[in-house]
Every structure is written in C-alpha cells, then in structure tokens.
Amino acid sequence: MDTNKENDSEPAIRHNARSIKGNRETVRETKMNENEMKKNVKETRDAAVVTGAGRGIGRAIAVKLAEKGCDVVINYSSGKTAAEETAKLCEERGAKTVIVQGNVAEPEDCSRIIDAAKEAFGRIDILVNNAGITRDNILMRMTEKDFQDVIDVDMTGVFNMMKAAAPVMIRKRYGRIINIASVSGIMGNPGQTNYSAAKAGVIGMTKAYAREVASRNITVNAVAPGMVKTDMTDAMPEKAVQSMISQIPAGRIGTPQDIAGAVAFLADRDTSYITGHTICVDGGMCM
C-alpha cells in the first residue's frame, strides 16, 4: 500500500514541477518586458522647456538637462545672442534645441513657447519656470509699476506657463515641473518687497498645483536659490561680498550649477514621489 501511495503521488509531483517551471518562465518573461520598457524609455529623450535660459541660472539648467539626455526648448525675453550660445552648449552635449523668444508675462507668448515644443519634439516632459526680473527699492520709494512688473513676470509668468503646458502633461499623464523661487520668498529681503512677494506666491502655487495634478503622475516642486554668483555679485565691492558670505553657513556664494543640480534631480523620472516641496539651495541660510 505504501508503494501504491508513492506511485499515486508521482503525477502530482510532475504537475508541481511543470507549474514551477511555468512560473519561472512567467517571471522571466515579465523581467524581459520590464527591461524592454526601461530600454524604450531610455532611448526616448525627454523634452524640456526652460524659460529665461539665455544666461545665468537658466543657462546652467538648460545645459545640465542636456547632459542628462534631454532635448531643450530655450526661451528668452531679450538677448538672442546669449540664447544662441546656450543652444550651442546644449547641442555640444547631444541635445536638439529650439530657441523661442517670448515674455512669460504674456499668456499668448507662453502658448507659443509650448506650441514650439510640441511641434519640435511632440512632447513636453519637463517644464522649468526660471524667467524672472528684479526692480529693487525700499517699499516707500518703490513705484506701483516696479511692483507690478515683478509680480507679472516672476509670479504670473509661472502661472501662465503651467497653464499653457497643462493640457499636454495631463493628456500624457506625466510631467516634471520645477519652479525657481528664492530664499527671499521664505525669509523676506529688505528692498525686495515685490520680489519677495512674487517668490512667496510661486511657492504657494507650487503646493496648490502639486495637489491638483499628483494623481496624474505630474510632480510640481520649487527650488529656492540663496545668494548665487551673477553679474550683479561680480560688480559688488569685495567687502560687501564678504559681509554676505559671513551669513552663509557653507561659507561661500552659490553657483548657477548648484541650482541646476537640484533642478536635474527633481526633473528625473525616478523622483516621482517628491511633489509640492521647496528645496533651498542656499548654503544653509534658511535652516
């Protein structure tokens, strides 16, 4: 009887072996499909739109995204030669580029920038709202025009660009939006009531819009630069520069590349679970 029981169990053993083999084949096939998907994603270059990309932080961001394998739409308001130089730097890194002049304070210009991206690349994966201006003065001497001009470009311009890109990203159910804010929008800064108000507004918009589109695999984050080396800081007296550096725990002024690195991190496809946040790139000023 014992022998018969052993014989009776042989079909079950063979069946289980076939099931295990079948499961292994399924797992192997699934892994092959996943690898193929990753390969396809890797072979498809992301398309990025960077506003205010002619020089400074915007140029550094555009070049960094090109290094990361993105094609780039380079927007500028004035200074076509500088924008062409940015395009050249991006193309040297293997990117295809499109240069589009436009004022982000004008909704029609924003729509034109987005249309240029769609026509050139058929997609918009990354939007970096970097364009901005300053009109510094103490509040009692600041004109209404200087206040409104900064609000129109630095805050309303972000709204205009996000709204223009929304149909593309929502339809595709994918996007990475990075808004360039400032520590001035967190701490406030004397002589920059308009700029501080605009950048604080950008941070608020970032949080609100992140909640609206999170379920569609679209992330919306902000980067808040601290003191960054620019043409303005280069023209400052050394004593004034050193005084400002003394307030930075890191002991140095930031570079446009510091900001670009944070933007590239947030623009990556692997950062899909970070949204609605503001990353301060300020050497510790805001901590």
| The two structure tokens encoding residue 147 | 């206040």
Is residue 49 classed as helix, strand or coil in its secondary structure? strand
Residue 119 has pLDDT above 60, yes or no: yes
Whole-angstrom distance, CA of residue 206 vs CA of residue 141:
30
| The two structure tokens encoding residue 132 | 């901005």
Band of residue 40 on the pLDDT scale cut at 50, 70, 90: very low
Higher pLDDT, residue 12 or 190: 190
Transcribe 208-259 into DSSP letters. HHHHHHGGGTEEEEEEEE-SB--HHHHTS-HHHHHHHHTT-TTSS-B-HHHH
Q: What pLDDT, on the 0 to 100 scale, is given for residue 37?
A: 46
- 46 CA to centre of own chain: 12
Q: Phi then psi for 286, rounded to 5 degrees?
A: -95, 0
Express each pLDDT in 254-284 by its tens digit.
999 999 999 999 999 999 999 999 999 999 9
Residue 195 falls in the annotated catalytic set:
yes
* Residue 48 Cα distances to 21, 85, 127, 131, 240, angstroms: 45, 17, 6, 15, 37
Band of residue 30 on the pLDDT scale cut at 50, 70, 90: very low
Express each pLDDT in 180-224 by its tens digit.
999 999 999 999 999 999 999 999 999 999 999 999 999 999 999
Catalytic entry in 76, 174, 195, 209: 195
3-7, 120-124, 179-183, 270-274: least confident range: 3-7
**Closest residue by Cα to residue 129 from 42, 212, 223:** 223
pTM to 2 decimals? 0.84
